């Protein structure tokens, strides 16, 4: 990726253009009633995560302004978190449903009610407010000047994020899933940044990008399964037993898979990683 270092200004422009396009498209989709609410919730959270990852590359140029916009996107994402989590929980449990097992059906009824309530709480006013926030963030980014003498060393910033992710590598023995969630957030940032680097260099997604996507999915499953257990914890004994037998076993397997993949993807030291990017 030697061309990235040679054309930092172009990389900066591409980063901002991609960010503006993402914010604008998402603002339109949030209020489009033709799109199912579950899809809109997914789009909002995906766009907020990708936007935050792109903004994380920009502090050397825009400092506190970029950090402030990241905070806004984080708050928007959190507002849609409960609706997203309940929909994912319903999907996970429905995948385990069997006609001869009454426990999943009981769990499904509970989760369906919770899911519909969370999505119904996202009123048109809330959706319009979120769309306005995406638009406002984009309007602020539009006026950021890109000066020829203030090029963004995008490789250096991506390496910094890589280092942060590496410091959070899980062992599989964590008592708190909060740590696993922090690592996944770092992986999401890293994945979006690597995708941007490839786009800057005109390359198609390589093996690392695909492996990062798989790691994101494994970590996401672990966190989602933990959430399902919490939702069902206060249910009947039969539901709790179902969660313990089916969900914990699946979570353990996905966590082991994620830990192995994480240590493979982040085995390089940051300096070696930066050298690899600049080849």
* pLDDT at site 76: 94
The DSSP element (H or E) to which 145 belongs, if any, is none
Check if the beta carbon of residue 29 is closer than 8 Å to that of residue 40: yes
- Cα(121)–Cα(36) distance, integer angstroms: 14
User: How many other C-beta atoms are found inside a 10 Å radius of the C-beta of residue 198?
Assistant: 17
* pLDDT at site 248: 77
- Residue-range definition of the domain harbouring residue 68: 1-80+122-152
On whether both 39 and 126 belong to a single domain, the answer is yes
On whether both 218 and 195 belong to a single domain, the answer is yes
On whether both 190 and 207 belong to a single domain, the answer is yes
On whether both 133 and 231 belong to a single domain, the answer is no
HSE value, Cβ hemisphere, 13 Å, CA-based, for 211: 13
pLDDT tens for each residue of 150-199: 455 777 888 999 999 999 998 877 666 788 889 999 999 999 888 888 87
pLDDT tens for each residue of 18-56: 999 999 999 999 999 999 999 999 999 999 999 998 888
On whether both 148 and 214 belong to a single domain, the answer is no
On whether both 164 and 134 belong to a single domain, the answer is no
Q: Where are the alpha helices (DSSP H) in 145-200?
A: 154-167, 177-200
Domain total in the chain: 2
On whether both 240 and 170 belong to a single domain, the answer is yes
Check if the beta carbon of residue 19 is closer than 8 Å to that of residue 70: no
Tokens of 1: 């990726």
CATH code (residue 253)? 1.20.1440
Q: Which of 102, 133, 152 is the last residue in one of the domains?
A: 152
On whether both 128 and 158 belong to a single domain, the answer is no
pLDDT tens for each residue of 190-245: 998 888 888 776 666 678 888 999 999 999 888 888 877 776 665 555 555 555 56
Tokens of 170: 């899980």
On whether both 71 and 169 belong to a single domain, the answer is no
On whether both 1 and 138 belong to a single domain, the answer is yes
User: Is 218 inside any structural domain?
Assistant: yes
pTM of the model: 0.78
User: Is 102 inside any structural domain?
Assistant: no
On whether both 209 and 160 belong to a single domain, the answer is yes
Check if the beta carbon of residue 163 is closer than 8 Å to that of residue 29: no
* pLDDT at site 143: 82
User: Is 160 inside any structural domain?
Assistant: yes
The DSSP element (H or E) to which 64 belongs, if any, is helix 64-79
Tokens of 208: 């690392």
User: Is 67 inside any structural domain?
Assistant: yes
**Distance from CA of residue 165 to its chain's centroid?**
14
Interhelix angle 177-200/248-265, rounded to 10 degrees, is 40
Q: Which of 133, 152, 171 is the last residue in one of the domains?
A: 152
On whether both 227 and 240 belong to a single domain, the answer is yes
């Amino acid at each position: 990726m030697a061309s990235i270092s040679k054309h930092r200004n172009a990389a900066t422009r591409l980063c901002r253009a991609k960010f503006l396009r993402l914010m604008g498209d998402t603002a339109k989709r949030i209020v489009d009633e033709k799109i199912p609410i579950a899809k809109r919730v997914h789009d909002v959270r995906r766009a907020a995560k990708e936007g935050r990852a792109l903004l994380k590359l920009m502090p050397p140029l825009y400092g506190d302004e970029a950090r402030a916009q990241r905070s806004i996107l984080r708050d928007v994402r959190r507002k849609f978190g409960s609706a997203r989590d309940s929909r994912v929980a319903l999907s996970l449990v429905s995948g385990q449903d069997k006609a001869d097992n009454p426990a999943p059906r009981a769990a499904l009824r509970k989760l369906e009610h919770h899911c519909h309530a969370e999505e119904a709480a996202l009123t048109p006013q809330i959706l319009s407010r979120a769309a306005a926030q995406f638009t406002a963030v984009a309007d602020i980014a539009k006026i950021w000047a890109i000066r020829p003498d203030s090029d963004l060393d995008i490789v250096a910033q991506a390496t910094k994020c890589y280092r942060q992710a590496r410091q959070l590598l899980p062992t599989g023995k964590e008592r708190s899933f909060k740590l696993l969630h922090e690592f996944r957030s770092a992986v999401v940032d890293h994945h979006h940044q690597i995708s941007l680097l490839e786009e800057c260099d005109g390359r198609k997604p390589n093996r690392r990008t695909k492996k990062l996507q798989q790691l994101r999915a494994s970590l996401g499953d672990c966190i989602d399964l933990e959430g399902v257990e919490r939702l069902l914890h206060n249910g009947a004994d039969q539901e709790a037993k179902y969660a313990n037998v089916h969900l914990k076993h699946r979570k353990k397997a996905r966590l082991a898979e994620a830990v192995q993949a994480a240590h493979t993807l982040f085995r390089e030291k940051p300096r070696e990683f930066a050298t690899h990017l600049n080849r």
